[in-house]
Structure 1
C-alpha cells in the first residue's frame, strides 16, 4: 500500500460551523466519501471527535502517534488535539463530534484515558446508531428520538473495547522522515541502512535517535508498524499467507512468530476479529 506524498490530494477540513456540537445538540455525526490518496489537512477543534470508516483503511496522525485503522475501528481524538487523516483506500468516513461538557460528564467519569487518543472497536449497534444520528442531524432540531439515540451511543462508546494500534512517531526531522517512509510501505525486508541513507543519516545515528526519542530499537518499532498493517490487510480480506508475503516475510511461520511475540496469540486467533464486515 505504498503512496507518494507528492501525489496526494490535500483537502481542507469541514468548516466548524457546519458540524459544531452544542449543549442542545451535543453529538453531531457526518459521513463523507473520499478517494484514495487524500489527506485532510492538519486541524483541531474545541470538541472531541471519533472517526472511523465503514469502507477503506485510513491513517490518522495525532502529534506523537499515528493510527492505521481498518474499517470499524475508530480513533478517539480529544478536544484541542491537532491531527490529519490520510485516506489509504477509497473510503466512507464517519465522524462523530462530541460537545466538551457532555464528553466530560458522560465519559471521563466512567473511565481513564479519554483525555488521550485511543483506538476503539465499533460494534454493530454503534454502527447503526451512528447512521441513525446522522439522519437525525439532517432533520434539523434535535428530536425526542435523538435524545434516546444519544444516550445509547454514549453508552456504546464507553463500553467499546480499546485496541493497541497506536504507533509512536518522533519529532526529529530525519527520524520522522524515516518513520513516515516506512509506514508508506511497511515491509520487514526493508533494511535500516537503506532507510537511513534515504534520509541522509547513518545507521548509527538513526539507532541512537530511536533510543533517545522513542525509547526502543528500530526493530521493536517496526514490529508495531507491521502489526497495524497486518490488521489493515486482514480487513481487506487477505489471507495470512497473503499478509505475510505483502509484509516481506519469507515464511508464514516467521510472520506468525512476530504476531505471537507482540500480542501473545497466533495471527489465526488475532485476525478473527479483523475480517471484513457487511456495510
Structure 2
C-alpha cells in the first residue's frame, strides 16, 4: 500500500511565470503567453488585476483557487476572474498557454468557468503573439491584430459550453492538505483513517470536517475528485483499464460501476460520444 507522506509535494516549484511582462491595456486588450512545463511542476499561488483564460495545447493541468480545483485537458479552457489567487499543477508535460484580457473587452464573470474550446476559439487564441514586453522581435502588427481579434474571441467565449467539473476545496489547512495529496496521487489506495493520521487527525474528525466544510461525505468528495481526474484521460482515448488503474481502482468493473452510477453512462460510451 502506498505510504502517505504529510510533506509530499510537487517535484518542481516555480514562480508566477512573469505575468507583468504581458499586462493587457487599452492598446493591447489581449495578451498571450506560452510556457513548456514538466509534469509535477507547481506554479506558485499568485494573482493579477486582470482576468485570464488558461488552456494547454497538450497535456493536462490542474488550476486551484481558494474554493476549488479544476482539471483542464486540451479540449477545455478555464476562465479565472481578475484578482483571484490561483496556482497551477502540471499533471503531465504540457504546453501551457494563458490569455490575459483587459477589463473593457472581457466578460463580466465573477467566478471560474470551465469552457469547451471550439475550433474557432482555439484558432483565435493560437493566433496571438506571445512575445513578452521586455523581449524584442515580436510581431510589429501584434497590437492591431489583438484589437481585431478581441471582440470575436470574447463573443466565442460567451457562446462556449460551460462544464461543471470542479472539485471543491476546504478552507481548513489540514483538510486541504489531505485533499491536495489525493489530487496529486489519485491512485493511492490509502484509507481515510490513514489519510487522517497523516495530517494528525482522527478518521471521525476528518469525516465530520468534510460534511461541515464541503457539504458532502468523504466518499462523495473522493468520487468527484476521481471523476475530474478520469474524464480528461478517457476523452483523450486512454484505455479504460489504464484509467481505472490510474484512478486507484483494483478492477475495471469497479471503476466502470462507479463511473456509470455518477454519470449515467459507461466509460466506453463516454469515449464514443467524444469521438463522434
Q: Which band: TM-score by shorter chain?
A: 0.7 to 0.9
Give matches, 1:135-146, under 5 Å.
138-140=138-140, 142=142, 144-146=144-146
Q: Secondary structure at the match of 1:100?
A: coil
Structure 1 residue 52, shift from structure 2 partner: 0.9
Could you tell me which residue of structure 2 aligns to residue 51 of structure 1? 54
1:143-154 to 2 correspondence within 5 Å? 144-154=144-154
Which of 38, 41, 46 is residue 38 of structure 1 equivalent to? 41
Q: Provide the residue aligned with 1:122 in structure 2.
A: 117
Q: CA deviation at 1:143?
A: 5.3
Which residue number corresponds to residue 111 of structure 1? none
Note the residue ranges of structure 2 that are not aligned, 5 or more in a row.
133-137
Of 12, 15, 21 in structure 2, the residue corresponding to residue 12 of structure 1 is 15
Give the CA deviation at 1:22: 0.8
The whole-number CA distance in structure 1 between the counterparts of 2:79 and 2:22 is: 17
Corresponding residue of 1:99: 102
Cα–Cα, structure 1 residues 69 and 17, in superposed 2: closer, same or farther, change >3 Å?
A: closer
Q: Which residue of 2 aligns with 1:246?
A: 246
Number of residue equivalences: 266
* More helix per residue: 1
Structure 1 residue 156 and structure 2 residue 156: aligned? yes
Distance 2:52 2:8 in 1: 25
Secondary structure in 1 aligned to 2:129?
A: helix
The yes-or-no answer on 1:22 pairing with 2:19 is no
Alignment check: 8 A CA contact 2:237 2:271 kept: no
Q: Name the CA distance, whole Å, in 2 between partners of 1:41 and 1:248.
A: 27
What is the CA–CA distance in structure 1 between the aligned matches of 2:234 and 2:55, rounded to whole Å? 16
1:271 to partner: Cα distance: 3.2
Residue 136 of structure 1 and its aligned partner are, at CA, apart by 9.1
Tell me the alpha carbon deviations over residues 243-278 of structure 1, each in whole angstroms, 9 at most, x when there is no partner: 122223243333222222222332223334667xxx
Pairwise CA RMSD of aligned residues?
A: 2.4
- Write the distance in 2 (CA, Å) between the matches of 1:8 and 1:100: 35
- TM (normalized to structure 2)? 0.87
* 1:63-82 → structure 2 map (5 Å cutoff): 63-82=66-85
1:78 to 1:140, Cα distance in 2 relative to 1, 3 A: farther
The answer to whether the Cα contact below 8 Å between 2:178 and 2:196 also exists between their aligned partners in 1 is yes
Any stretches of 5+ residues in structure 1 without a counterpart? 109-113
* Distance apart, 1:124 and its partner CA: 1.9
Tell me the TM-score normalized by structure 1.
0.86
272 and 52 in structure 1: CA distance in 2 versus 1, 3 angstrom threshold: farther
Per the TM alignment, residue 56 of structure 1 is displaced from its structure 2 partner at its CA by 1.1
